[in-house]
Chain A
Amino acid sequence: MENKETYWSENLRLIFICLAIWFVVSFGLGLLLVEPLNAIRLGGYKLGFWFAQQGSIYSFLGLIFWYGAKMNKLDKKYHSEG
């Protein structure tokens, strides 16, 4: 019983971290902070523009696989028959 609850709360903590990053890379850097970031250059890209059209997508990819790997470990740790 105790296991069930720690599994779920660890999962929630992971989700919270991931979604915070998800929000920052897209809505934060690509949208709300786009103007100040555009002052910085990444080659021909303005940085804010780059996050909106490239960087956010790469970050999403990283997030999903990181979360998947973490959860697989967690699933093993709390192995149950469900």
Chain B
Amino acid sequence: MEELKLYTYIAVFGTFAVYFGIAWWARAGSTSDFYVAGGGITPMQNGMAIGADWMSAASFISMAGLIAFLGYGGSVFLMGWTGGYVLLAMLLAPYMRKHGKFTVPEFIFDRYYSKTARIVAVVCLIIASLTYIIGQMKGVGVAFSRFLEVDYDNGLYIGMFVVWVYAVMGGMKGITYTQIAQYVVMIFAYTIPAVFISLQLTGNPIPQLGLGSTLADGSGMYLLDKLDLVVTDLGFKEYTTANLGGTLNMFAYTMSLMIGTAGLPHVIMRFFTVPSVQAARASAGYALVFISLLYTVAPAVGAMARLNLMNTIEPAAGQNLEYAERPQWFKDWEKTGLLKYEDKNGDGKIQYTADKATNEMVKVDRDIMVLANPAIANLPNWVIALVAAGGLAAALSTAAGLLLAISSSISHDLMKGVLTPDLSEKNELLAGRVVMTIAIIVSGYLGLNPPGFAAGTVALAFGLAASSIFPALMMGIFSKKMSGKAAVSGMVAGIGVTMLYVFQHKGIMFIPGTSFLGDMGPNWFFGISPNAFGAVGAVVNFVVAFAMLQVTGPAPAHIQEMVENMRLPGKTSAAHAH
């Protein structure tokens, strides 16, 4: 045990020292450095930074755990969080890069020629980003509570402090280079245990192939068939066919995540840091390459973790594990309060079933699975330590990127752009840092009672972005005539409907017990869950915008000309403020 602790400290402090060193070395000197890293990053570097930015606590810590328990239903995350890059590469990134601005609200201000549009975009962006950070904070809390062996709440407080130090110091230039280092740490931390476990279970070192292989125990049975058998024996849904709330819900869920991906400001901002339109397209491709390395391994991690967990608790049918003989990882996670056992039938053994009345694993927080996975599989201690470092890197890098998006939208778009245009560069940076601090405190507070598992919370954020930002950007590029008033109505209607549905189910800003319409059945709108509702919100956005366009009349001629110019290939200037 002592050895594990030592390794973990070395891995975590070692990697942190590297990140802080890089952040210090590349620290931001000007606003341009702070927001878009001066515009001089190659597509490959940018793709890697997007990868690190993207693979948050939701992807790294939470997603495979959710897949482990959802089975086929977990596919919504896999397809949803990769398919959005296709939309980005074809529908948004190149044109927005061609136009050349710092932030998403700035683009919306130019295209829809109205301060109202800019303010509405800022508000939508803040709501979505803040929700996203709550999800990250859950991941930060889980990782720090396990790493420091404290309960979840204290883990979260410590995590908030670390995120604060890190994000306030860096700015985009620092963050971009740090994120490249974080990507490398993360991808190794994620794939190495997966390779070990795949080798152990199937004899095939490539997890993507191992998942489709036969087990190495001599039974000749396919891994997935075995898993289906084990879980159905205990009354759970069959792994490879378990649906997530019906086909319509899965459809909406996937769509919501895809278009949300293409509407999230911290991802779009990244495409402003490359030198050309061609580089913007290439960046989206490289980003997806780096992301896919993790996303195609995740289903193997999920399935294998579930199988190992089941086999640990019930090595053979009817031979349940004695609670007194539970392994060390079990005890470690009990300390965090995220894993709980209750001996309901008093036999001293652990029964884990789908039936609530007899199930004794009363709490298995999905977000612990990835971090616990290497220990469950009895992997060497240095692998477990590496995973801890990777999980922290994931949560930290995304939280920093999002905080930057929030702070730039308030200090740059709201204050400098609308309220106090004569703000000096120095004060703009200061305002940005103050905003970051407030955002960390608010999201940390809300992270104490998160509205779901990290990945579920993040899915809500995507829904909010999907219903507001994506339609406005897409119409801005593909419909020359779209007018400012119509786009604003669309954004307000889209995010309004989505927030109404989400907050009704989850409480206003996710504070429990603030559902306002009283007793409404769960998922009452055609069985679509709040996490999936962004797709419906986006449809509302498009419909309202096009209806209003008929009323308000088309955009003025000089705007239409600007859109024409955005669509053409050719030289771009570096991103600049007006």
Alpha-carbon gap, A47 to B82, bound state (A): 19
Interface residues of B in 85-135 (CB under 8 A from A): 85-87, 89-91, 94, 98
Indicate if the CB atoms of B208 and A64 lie closer than 8 Å: no
For chain B, what secondary structure do more than half of its interface residues adopt (helix, strand, loop), or is it mixed? helix
Complex formed: what's the CA distance from A44 to B254 in Å?
A: 25
Q: CB-nearest residue of chain A relative to B202?
A: A44
Contact of A22 among B83, B288, B572 (CB under 8 A): B83
Closest to B91 in A: A15
Classify chain A: how many residues form its interface, as a range. Answer: 35 or more
| B-contact bits for A46-63, CB 8 A (1 contact / 0 none) | 100110111011101101
Instruction: Choose among A15, A53, A75 the residue with the greatest number of B CB atoms under 10 Å from its CB.
Output: A53
- In-complex Cβ contact of B222 among A43, A81, A82 (8 A): A43
Stretch touching chain A among B72-80, B320-328, B451-459: B72-80
Q: Which residue from B78, B225, B278, B282 sits with its C-beta under 8 Å from A57?
A: B78
Is A44 a contact of B211 with CB atoms below 8 Å?
A: yes
Q: Which of A7, A38, A52, A71 contacts B79 (CB 8 A)?
A: A52
Q: Categorize the interface residue count of chain B.
A: 35 or more
Given contacts A64-B86, A75-B569, contact A57 B79 (CB under 8 A): yes
A26-B83, A42-B212, A45-B224 known; A31-B569 Cβ under 8 A? no
> Do B568 and A67 touch across chains, with their CB atoms under 8 A apart?
no
Q: Out of B98, B278, B567, which one reaches A8, CB within 8 Å? A: B567
A56 CB contact (under 8 Å) in B83, B90, B567: B83
Q: Select which of B74, B288, B571 is within 8 A of A61 by beta carbon.
A: B288
Could you tell me if A82 and B98 are in contact, using CB atoms closer than 8 angstroms?
Answer: yes
Q: Return the CB mask of A1-40 against B: 1 if under 8 Å, else 0.
A: 0001001100100010011001000110011101000100
Q: Is B565 an interface residue (CB 8 A)?
A: yes
Cβ-defined contact, A50 with B86, below 8 A: no
User: In whole angstroms, how far apart are the Cα atoms of A18 and B90 in the complex?
Assistant: 9
CB of B12 closer than 8 Å to a CB of A: no
The docked-state distance in angstroms from the alpha carbon of A43 to that of B206 is 14
For B243, the closest partner residue in chain A by CB is A34
CB within 8 A of B289: which of A19, A27, A53, A61? Answer: A61
Main secondary structure of the interface of A (DSSP, over half): helix
Closest Cβ of chain B to A74, distance in Å, is 7
Shortest distance from the beta carbon of A67 to any chain B beta carbon, whole Å? 6
B254–A64 CB distance below 8 A: no
B224 and A82 contacting across the interface, CB-CB below 8 Å: no
A47 to nearest B CB, angstroms?
Answer: 11
Complex-state Cα separation, A36 to B568, whole angstroms: 44
Nearest CB in chain A: distance from B447 CB, A: 29
A-side contacts of B78, CB under 8 Å: 52-53, 56-57
Instruction: Judge whether B570 and A67 touch: CB under 8 Å.
Output: no
Give A70 to B237 CA distance when docked, in angstroms. 44
Given known pairs A42-B212, A54-B208, the reply for A71 and B281 (CB within 8 Å) is: yes
CB neighbours of A57 from chain B (8 A): 78-79, 82, 292, 295-296
In contact, A18 and B571 (Cβ under 8 angstroms): no
**Cα distance A72–B571 in the bound complex, in angstroms:** 13
A45-B212, A57-B79 known; A82+B568 contact, CB < 8 A: yes
> A11-B567, A57-B79, A72-B278 known; A50 and B85 CB under 8 Å?
no
Beta-carbon contact of B567 and A67 below 8 Å? no
B539-577 contacts to A (CB < 8 Å): 564-565, 567-572
Q: Beyond A53-B75, A56-B79, A64-B284, is A79–B91 a contact (Cβ under 8 Å)?
A: no
- Contact of A27 with B254 in the complex, beta carbons under 8 Å: yes
Give the chain B neighbours of A60 by CB distance below 8 A.
82-83, 85-86, 288, 292
In the complex, B213 has a CB within 8 A of chain A: yes
> Closest approach, in angstroms, between the C-beta of A18 and any C-beta of chain B?
6
- Complex Cα gap A80–B255 (Å): 36
**Cβ-neighbour of A38 out of B241, B278, B295, B570 (below 8 A):** B241
Cα A5 to Cα B86 in complex, Å, equals: 23
Residues on B with C-beta less than 8 A from A15 are 90-91
Q: Give complex CA distance A36, B571 in Å.
A: 49
Against A, the Cβ 8 Å flags (1 = close, 0 = not) of B244-282 are 000100110011000000000000000000000110011
* 20 contacting pairs across A/B (C-beta < 8 A): A4-B567, A8-B567, A15-B91, A19-B86, A31-B247, A34-B72, A44-B214, A44-B223, A44-B224, A46-B224, A49-B75, A54-B299, A57-B78, A61-B288, A61-B292, A64-B284, A68-B284, A71-B278, A75-B570, A79-B570
Which 5 pairs, one residue from A and one from B, show the smallest C-beta to C-beta distance? A82-B570, A44-B222, A52-B75, A75-B569, A43-B212
**Given A52-B78, A68-B281; 6 other pairs, CB 8 A cutoff:** A7-B567, A57-B292, A64-B90, A72-B281, A74-B569, A75-B277
